[in-house]
Amino acid sequence: MIHRLKNQYSIQKMCKLLACSRSGYYDWITLGKPAYKAFDEPLNKLILEQYLKDKRQGITRIRMNLKEIHGLVLTKATVYRYMKLNEIQSIIRKKRHQWGKKPHHNIPNLLKRDFTTERPNQKWSIDVSYLFTKDRVLYLCAIKDMFDKSIIGYRISRFNNNPLVFETVKQAVYDTPIEQRKDLILHSDQGSQFTSPVYAKLLADNDIRHSVSNRGNCVDNCPIESWFSALKTETIYLMDKLSESEMINVVDQYVKYYNEERLQEKIKELAPITYRMQVLSTLFN
């Protein structure tokens, strides 16, 4: 306001009227009239340092980590402002092509895009994704619990076949006590492994309810799809072509990081395993 009216009124009188100092006004001019007057250099340094630790972080994760590490309670707008001033941003995820699927042979869609849950091990999401290495294509099958976003089972193979899927399911089942799997739904797309009679029997033998997406609707299984996207965006796409052993190591490290360290706003700003253990201890102790 002072700068806009400086040709009509005395700067000294306007500063006195607005209870600000003339020196402060001239300092603002010297700094190049910055758009943001409340610039906090220590805060700016903390935000920049946090971003540089892991450039996969966006506004929300930087805000949560600063709260967790330094006890700072910031708004998203504040973090965004400092990120904009530093010209930094999180990694933009690539769009994926979607392909149609075969009919699911009367297997129901029990979820119908309702991903809400009341407890762990109520709704799981499973799928297979490609991992391109220097020498060959690998296949990653993973299962995500929709309650706490944790990855509860995964396997990597050179072959996209039934054993890959079956071993992933068996791992998740083995690691989850039967009393915690009451009325569990395991949801997938219409891939051949997920619509086979053998897969259906595996689920039935473990009292798991079989559910598949509608034809051509990838959004129906977006919980695990979003995790595959995060894995690739935050690790694989940032690296040069990896060897087979390097790719397996990267996935192993990311699953551990994602489950145990990566804070998520929707689960009380905790890492998936931390949140999971808190809830399970309440339910089963």
Query: 66 and 47 in contact (C-beta within 8 Å)?
Result: yes
Residues 236 and 153 in one domain: yes
pLDDT tens column, 8-41: 788 887 777 777 777 777 766 666 555 555 677 8
Indicate the number of domains in the chain. Answer: 3
Q: What is the mean pLDDT of the chain?
A: 86
Q: Do 74 and 132 reside in the same domain of the chain? A: no
Q: What is the pTM of this model?
A: 0.71
The yes-or-no verdict on residue 50 having pLDDT over 70 is yes
DSSP state of 18: T
Given 90, 113, 133, the domain boundary residue is: 90
Task: Check residue 104 and give its pLDDT.
Answer: 45
Instruction: Examine the domain organization and report whether 215 and 255 are in the same domain.
Output: yes
Same domain, 153 and 200: yes
By residue range, what is the domain housing residue 59?
39-90
DSSP state of 127: E
Helix (H, G, I), strand (E, B) or coil at 123: strand
How does pLDDT run across 236-248, given as a tens digit for each residue?
A: 998 988 999 999 9
Query: For residue 133, what pLDDT is reported?
Result: 94
Residue 100 included in any domain: no
In sequence order, what DSSP letters do the residues of 226-253 get, joined into one string? HHHHHHHHHTGGGSSPPPHHHHHHHHHH
DSSP single-letter state for residue 140: E
The size of the chain, in residues, is 285
| Nearest residue to 214 via CA among 226, 222, 206 | 222
Residues 119 and 115: their CA atoms lie apart, in Å, by 12
pLDDT tens digits, 54-112: 888 888 888 898 888 888 888 888 888 888 877 788 876 655 555 444 454 689 999 99
Residues 64, 182, single domain; the answer is no
Does residue 124 have a pLDDT over 70? yes
CA 258-264-270 angle, to 5 degrees, is 85
Residue 72 covered by a domain: yes
- In a domain, residue 44? The reply is yes
46: nearest Cα among 30, 57, 35: 57
In a shared domain, residues 26 and 77: no
